[in-house]
Amino acid sequence: MTKVKKILRLFQEDLVVVNLGLEAFAEALRKEDVKVLQMNWRPPAGGDQRLIALLDRLEK
């Protein structure tokens, strides 16, 4: 059987959201009284896919 303990815990908690991308989604959540942090996201490694793959290998 699939474990769902953490999902059930989420259903009991207040949502606390990190928004990565379109700001409109953060604004909507704020209007609905959700605590939300907007990230200032940028493509990693200047968007260079080879460098990103290298970063991922280093992080592992």
Q: What is the 8-class DSSP label of residue 32?
A: T
Q: Least Å distance between CB 30 and other proteins? A: 11
| Residue 55 one-letter amino acid | L
Q: Least Å distance between CB 38 and other proteins? A: 6
Place of tokens 């909507």: 28
Query: Smallest Cα–Cα separation from 39: which of 53, 57, 25, 28?
Result: 25
Question: Is residue 21 a contact residue for other proteins (CB under 8 A)?
Answer: yes
Q: What is the 8-class DSSP label of residue 37?
A: E
Question: Is residue 20 a contact residue for other proteins (CB under 8 A)?
Answer: yes
Q: Which residues bind other proteins (CB under 8 A)?
A: 1-8, 10-11, 13-26, 28-29, 31-32, 34-35, 37-44, 46-49, 52, 56
